[in-house]
């Protein structure tokens, strides 16, 4: 068995796309286990930039399985468009793609409801900002036992029956939020069934495929979406996503036992960012925040919205390590701190407050000064480093400090946006773990 789970250790945007892309080169299959098209990865193929939201990053490697497991919610229109684009670039030409029968479907009315709620939110009625892709409403339908699953897409009568059960609950809210006409369920069932027919040959029991691969000793990479602090159970509730983003979500989202999990790597930036509302104890002072934002290009990938920026929160990272069971940490964007004079790190919370036992919003960080590496020669050395030894001493000291505080070894370091600016300290796929 050689399996690796990779999850974001903060609030998302940790640079997972690049890290997973690099690790996927050695994987036989890459499996997404939660979330939907609220995630996004940019693949650079020759000179073309392609963004995938549903298909895992393994898609750049022909022959590597790209599996969408049952814990996901899938918008069939978005998936169709994404697969068409990838195919037009010569990818997914074989039988790489697999979609779980039991994954749930994001219906057009889920998307609409998300938008209507967001407009109501702007008027002060809902507390959580969302990406308006229908992810939250689709998960609500799933847990409410009225959702549409991938398997229903290929049986028009079953599809209509599922939709009617769902709309019985959704319709009154649509109307209350200002939707003008009722959804024409029969017409929509026809449209969705037509748009999904191509998918039927790829629909299967993904859990079984993964189990077979694990037992055969293949390299299986489980790709997380968002970050640990957005986990619906263990994140900064209610400012969270609708699924389990942490490693436990692999078992429930794929349908495999915990014994199938080998390594669990968490990705963290060398600092912290946050989008949307919710607590952020280590947010930096305005000047430092602006510097981090500019140096790190911290603007939302789809919205262009500036992200809130601050110092690395070691207690929160330790918490993420606990709820994921991290065996390794991947630290990204250490080159960005090279452009920040007088960087800091949060080593504790005041009054001994601990994350997980108190709401994050009520904690005040204890910050320590770091020996910076903002001299031009040091910044150049960071960007060029391909081994831990070639990093300047203050960077190595920072990585040591992270390891010690979190009690998890640093296994991968990213020193720039380029894929080549990554080095590993340990093999990701270890036979026998
Ligand atoms: P994700 O949302 O966690 O998947 O994050 P992405 O993979 O989309 O990464 C966000 C951005 O950070 C992308 O533009 C990456 O190219 C960039 N990036 C990733 N790692 C590094 C790094 O080590 N240094 C710098 N400067 N940029 C990086």
With b for 16 or more beta-carbon neighbours within 10 A and e for fewer, the 141-165 pattern comes to bbeeebbbbbbbbeeeeebbebbeb
- CA 162 to ligand 1 centroid distance, Å: 40
In short, whether 16's Cβ falls inside 6 Å of ligand 1 is yes
Confirm whether 13 is a catalytic residue.
Answer: yes
pLDDT tens, the chain, 433 aa long: 699 999 999 999 999 988 999 999 999 999 999 999 987 777 777 778 888 999 998 899 999 999 999 999 999 999 999 999 999 999 999 999 999 999 999 999 999 999 999 888 877 655 556 678 999 999 999 999 999 999 999 999 999 999 999 999 999 999 999 998 999 999 999 999 999 999 999 999 999 999 999 999 999 999 999 999 999 999 999 889 999 999 999 999 999 999 999 999 999 999 999 988 888 999 999 999 999 999 999 998 767 789 999 999 999 999 999 999 999 999 999 999 988 988 999 999 988 777 666 667 778 999 999 988 888 888 889 999 999 999 999 999 999 999 999 999 999 999 999 889 999 999 999 775 5
Which tokens belong to 191? Answer: 């449209």
pLDDT value of position 1: 65
State whether the beta carbon of 336 lies less than 6 angstroms from ligand 1: yes
What's the confidence (pLDDT) of residue 38?
Answer: 83
Q: Does the C-beta of 313 come closer than 6 Å to ligand 1?
A: no
325 CB-side CA count, 13 A:
11
Is the minimum distance from the CB of 335 to ligand 1 under 6 angstroms?
Answer: yes
Token pair of 294 as six digits:
């500019």
Pocket test for ligand 1, best of 18, 39, 331 (most atoms within 8 A of CB): 18
Same fold, 104-198 and 268-424: no
Instruction: Say which CATH architecture domain 268-424 belongs to.
Output: Alpha-Beta Complex (3.90)
Ligand 1 neighbourhood includes 333 CB (under 6 angstroms)? yes
> For residue 48, what are the contacts with CB-CB under 8 A and spacing of at least 6?
89
Residue 155 CA to residue 205 CA, distance in Å, equals: 17
- With a 6 Å cutoff on the Cβ, whether 44 touches ligand 1 is no
Q: Check the CA dihedral 150-153-159-163 and report its sign.
A: positive
**Chain segment 257-305, per-residue pLDDT in tens:** 999 999 999 999 999 999 888 889 999 999 999 999 999 999 987 677 8
Q: Could you tell me the pTM of the whole model?
A: 0.95
**Ligand 1 contact via 35 beta carbon (within 6 Å):** no
Provide φ and ψ at 413, rounded to 5°: -130, 135
Yes or no: domain 104-198 corresponds to CATH 1.10.300.10: yes
Q: Report the nearest atom of ligand 1 relative to the CA of 296.
A: 26
- Looking at residue 165, what is its pLDDT? 97
Q: How far, in Å, CA of 403 to CA of 202, rounded?
A: 42
Tell whether ligand 1 has an atom less than 6 A from the beta carbon of residue 142: no
For a mutational test of ligand 1's pocket, the pick from 7, 14, 17, 227, i.e. the residue with the most ligand atoms closer than 8 A to its C-beta, is 17
DSSP H or E stretch at residue 295 = helix 286-296
Q: How far is the CA of 15 from the centre of ligand 1 (A)?
A: 4
Beta strands at 97-100 and 203-204: parallel, antiparallel or unpaired = parallel
Instruction: Report how far ligand 1's centroid is from the alpha carbon of 379 (Å).
Output: 18
Q: How far is the CA of 14 from the centre of ligand 1 (A)?
A: 7
Asked if 403 contacts 266 with a C-beta cutoff of 8 angstroms, the reply is no
Hey, where are the domains in the chain? 3-103+199-260, 104-198, 268-424
Residue of 41, 53, 104, 110 marked active site: 41
* CA neighbor of 338 nearest in space, from 382, 305, 299: 382
Question: Can you name the CATH fold of 3-103+199-260?
Answer: Adenylosuccinate Synthetase; Chain A, domain 1 (3.40.440)
Whether the Cβ atoms of residue 330 and residue 399 lie closer than 8 Å to each other = no
Which atom of ligand 1 approaches the CA of 421 most closely? 23
The number of the ligand 1 atom at minimal distance from the alpha carbon of 14 is 3
Residue 418 φ/ψ region, left for φ over 0, alpha for ψ in the -120 to 50 degree band, beta for the rest = beta
By the 8 A CB rule, do 220 and 262 touch? no
Place of tokens 């998936």: 79
Nearest protein Cα to ligand 1, atom 28: 417
Q: Ligand 1 atom 12: the closest Cα is on which residue?
A: 15
- φ and ψ at residue 70, rounded to 5 degrees: -65, -25
Q: 124: which residues sit within 8 A by CB, 6+ positions away?
A: none
Ligand 1 midpoint to CA 19 (Å): 9
Nearest Cα residue to 428 out of 307, 330, 305: 330
Q: Which atom of ligand 1 is nearest to the CA of 12?
A: 3
| Active-site residue flag, 110 | no
C-alpha torsion sign, points 80, 82, 83, 87: positive
């Amino acid at each position: 068995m050689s399996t690796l789970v990779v999850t974001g250790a903060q609030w998302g945007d940790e640079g997972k796309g690049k890290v997973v892309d690099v690790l996927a080169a050695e994987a036989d299959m890459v499996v997404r286990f939660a979330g939907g098209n609220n995630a996004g990865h940019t693949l650079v193929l020759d000179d073309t930039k392609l963004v995938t939201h549903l298909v895992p990053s393994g898609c750049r490697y022909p022959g590597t399985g790209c599996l969408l497991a049952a814990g996901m919610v899938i918008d069939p229109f978005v998936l169709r468009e994404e697969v068409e684009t990838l195919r037009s670039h010569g990818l997914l030409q074989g039988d790489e793609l697999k979609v779980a029968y039991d994954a749930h479907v994001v219906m057009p009315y889920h998307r609409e409801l998300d938008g209507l709620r967001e407009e109501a939110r702007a008027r002060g009625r809902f507390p959580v900002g969302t990406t308006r892709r229908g992810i939250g409403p689709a998960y609500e339908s799933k847990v409410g036992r009225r959702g549409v699953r991938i398997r229903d897409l290929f049986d028009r009568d079953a599809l209509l029956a599922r939709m009617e059960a769902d709309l019985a609950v959704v319709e009154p809210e649509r109307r209350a939020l200002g939707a003008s006409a009722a959804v024409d369920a029969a017409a929509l069932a026809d449209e969705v069934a037509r748009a999904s027919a191509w998918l039927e040959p790829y629909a299967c029991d993904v859990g079984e495929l993964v189990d077979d691969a694990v037992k055969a000793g293949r390299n299986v990479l489980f790709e997380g979406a968002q970050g640990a602090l957005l986990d619906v159970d263990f994140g900064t509730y209610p400012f969270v996503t609708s699924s389990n983003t942490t490693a436990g979500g692999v078992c429930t989202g794929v349908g495999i036992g915990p014994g199938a999990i080998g390594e669990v790597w968490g990705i963290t930036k060398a600092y912290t960012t946050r989008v949307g509302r919710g607590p952020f104890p280590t947010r930096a002072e305005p000047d430092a925040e602006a510097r981090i934002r500019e140096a790190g290009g911290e603007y939302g990938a789809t919205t262009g919205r500036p992200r809130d920026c601050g110092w690395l929160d070691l207690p929160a990272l330790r918490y993420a390590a606990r709820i994921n069971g991290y065996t390794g940490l991947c630290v990204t964007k250490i080159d960005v701190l090279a452009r920040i004079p007088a960087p800091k790190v949060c080593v504790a919370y005041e009054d001994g407050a601990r994350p997980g036992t108190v709401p994050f919003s009520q904690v005040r960080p204890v910050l320590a000064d770091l020996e910076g590496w903002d001299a031009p020669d040091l910044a150049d050395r960071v960007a060029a480093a391909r081994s831990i030894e070639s990093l300047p001493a203050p960077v190595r000291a920072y990585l040591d400090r992270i390891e010690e505080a979190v009690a998890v070894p640093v296994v991968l370091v990213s020193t720039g946006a380029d894929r080549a600016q990554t080095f590993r300290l340990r093999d990701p796929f270890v036979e026998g773990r």
